[in-house]
Amino acid sequence: MKNISIIIFLLGLTGCQQPEFYDVQGAGHQFDDFTGRYLIVNYWATWCAPCIREIPELNEFADEFHGRVAVWGVNYDAPQGAEQLRQVQKMQITFPVFAANPSERLGVAMPEVLPTTLVFDPQGTLLATLVGPQTRASLLAALALE
């Protein structure tokens, strides 16, 4: 019985961690959630025609490589509140989107050109900065998965 109490206590401690960032749906996350997986961070905007064209490809890529790659978006214009979610829905983005720009925490500068896609290895090292619309092939090449 004592061992069970200790296990429950330890499990409770892991659930008490404060979120380091939020997605546009309001769910809290930790950057450690990405450990062991590649991370793709895509900067987009609703007025960016190449961004609009690449979103379906990113949606498919996120679904296909879900266990090995985390695909996240960043709205370049950084709207607040309900407008964030409205713009994600307008773009038909199915992968998670950061509620706030993570560039400082990721150790990168805010991109100057859209779309820009950052590719991080499973240890969190920036592998590539891809400018322009991406495809499944260009993402796989940056990740060296195929």
Domain ranges of the chain: 19-143
Cα angle for residues 91, 138, 109 (degrees, 5° grid): 70
- In tens, the pLDDT along 63-115 reads 999 999 999 999 999 999 999 999 999 999 999 999 999 999 999 999 999 99
Q: Taking the model in full, what pTM does it have?
A: 0.88
CATH of range 19-143; options 3.90.1150.10, 3.40.30.10, 3.40.50.720, 1.20.140.10 = 3.40.30.10
Angle between helical axes of 49-64 and 82-91 (0-180°, round to 10): 80
Please tell me the predicted confidence (pLDDT) of residue 144: 84
Average confidence (pLDDT) over 31-51: 96
